[in-house]
């Protein structure tokens, strides 16, 4: 019982930050993201009655640290009585550095596990399972522009626009490639308990979501840029106001923000967003990609640049 699936990370334009139900990992707020095309995680799940425990390898190296979370996710797909599994997960980009590697990893994991079992559950159901493991992973089951909303006691997902209907480009400036100091799950908990801005963040999210929905419907780049930067900086203000404060940026992150401001002042259609890590993600119109890439490459402290178009949701690759 073995199958392989592929999924891409997604970058939130309206951020998920905070949970309304921690045990079920349900978000406090809705979010909107874009699914990437060229950064991929490929995961093979092989349920094998001969195994005496689950075995996980990540990029060719045995990984025990992620095993409990991966095992819990497999339990939600296959049930507690399931056979143990051999899981191999390979990503073509740095993992655990604020590049949403857990999103593509858990999206690929649920699709591969479901296919290995021959269950063929629908995309929404698999997205809800992926979301239990990592909230942002639910969005990687869908392609293009994706909205995640709270619906009753679960989440609902909607594709707002197909990737080919508004094919923006994403240029990622990697400013530090090590794992982050505080993971998102823990950082959200700290924000919820201690940030004086957390309540306002939650209150204002519906207005930000309405703005981004309108921007996507009208393919209005200036409106998308304005609301996405606002929402990103508001999320980081929640983090900065927490105790202890969580500052994911380094000096190169700030230098990259200045680079984006300079490009904008020269009339380029580009904006930035930053997640729980020091990498800056620039979203731009295709005609401006080369210039954005060159400017970010020349920014002091940038170690590497990754470029991607927008892509489709997680897919099954093969099945034995």
Q: Which residue from 208, 229, 275, 289 is in contact with ligand DP6, where contact means CB under 6 A? A: 275
Interaction of residue 12 with ligand DP6, rule CB under 6 A:
yes
- 164-223 binders of ligand DP6 (CB under 6 A): 184-185, 188
> What are the C-alpha distances in Å from 192 to residues 127, 212, 239?
24, 24, 9
Closest approach of Cβ 295 to ligand DP6, in Å? Answer: 24
- What proportions of the chain, in percent to the nearest 5, are helix, strand and coil? 40, 25, 35
Interaction of residue 134 with ligand DP6, rule CB under 6 A:
yes
Minimum CB distance to ligand DP6 smaller for 210 or for 290: 210
Interaction of residue 25 with ligand DP6, rule CB under 6 A:
yes
> What are the C-alpha distances in Å from 68 to residues 3, 55, 112?
21, 11, 18
Tokens 């991929």, residue?
Answer: 40
Instruction: List the x/- string, 52-91, binding to ligand DP6 by CB under 6 A.
Output: ----------------------------------------
Interaction of residue 231 with ligand DP6, rule CB under 6 A:
no
Residues 71-101 as b/e (b if ≥16 CB within 10 A, e otherwise) read: bebbeebbeeebbbbebbbbbebbbbbbbbb
Interaction of residue 35 with ligand DP6, rule CB under 6 A:
no
- Nearest of 15, 27, 16, 32 to residue 232 by alpha carbon: 15
Note whether 246 and 240 are within 8 A (CB).
yes
Determine the interface stretch with ligand DP6 among 73-81, 132-140, 215-223, 255-263 (rule: CB under 6 A). Answer: 132-140
Binding interface with ligand DP6 (CB under 6 A) = 12, 15-17, 25, 31, 100, 102, 134-136, 184-185, 188, 275-276
């Amino acid at each position: 019982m073995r199958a392989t699936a592929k999924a891409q990370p997604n970058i939130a334009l309206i951020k998920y930050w905070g949970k309304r139900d921690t045990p079920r990992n349900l978000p406090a707020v809705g979010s909107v993201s874009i699914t990437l095309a060229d950064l991929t995680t490929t995961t093979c799940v092989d349920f094998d009655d001969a195994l005496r425990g689950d075995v996980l390898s990540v990029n060719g190296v045995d990984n025990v640290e992620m095993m409990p979370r991966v095992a819990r996710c497999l339990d939600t797909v296959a049930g507690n009585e399931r056979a143990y599994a051999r899981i191999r997960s390979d990503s073509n980009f740095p993992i655990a550095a604020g590049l949403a590697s857990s999103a593509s990893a858990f999206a690929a994991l649920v699709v591969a596990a479901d296919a290995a079992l021959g269950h063929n559950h629908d995309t929404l159901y698999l997205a809800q399972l992926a979301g239990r493991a990592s909230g942002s992973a639910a969005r990687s089951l869908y392609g293009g522009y994706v909205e995640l909303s709270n619906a009753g006691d679960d989440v609902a997902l909607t594709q707002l626009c197909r990737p080919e209907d508004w094919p923006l480009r994403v240029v990622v400036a990697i400013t530090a490639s090590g794992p982050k100091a505080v993971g998102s799950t823990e950082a959200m908990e700290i924000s919820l308990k201690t940030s004086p801005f957390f309540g306002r963040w939650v209150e204002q999210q519906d207005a930000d979501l309405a703005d981004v929905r309108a921007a996507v419907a009208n393919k209005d780049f200036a409106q998308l840029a304005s609301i996405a930067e606002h929402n990103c900086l508001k999320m980081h203000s929640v983090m900065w106001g927490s105790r202890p404060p969580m500052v994911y940026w380094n000096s190169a992150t700030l230098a990259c923000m200045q680079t984006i401001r300079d490009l904008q002042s020269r009339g380029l259609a580009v904006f930035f967003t930053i997640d729980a890590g020091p990498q800056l993600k620039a979203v731009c119109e295709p005609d401006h990609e080369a210039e954005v890439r060159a400017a970010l490459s020349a920014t002091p402290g940038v170690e590497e640049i990754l470029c991607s178009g927008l892509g489709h949701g997680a897919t099954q690759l093969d099945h034995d």
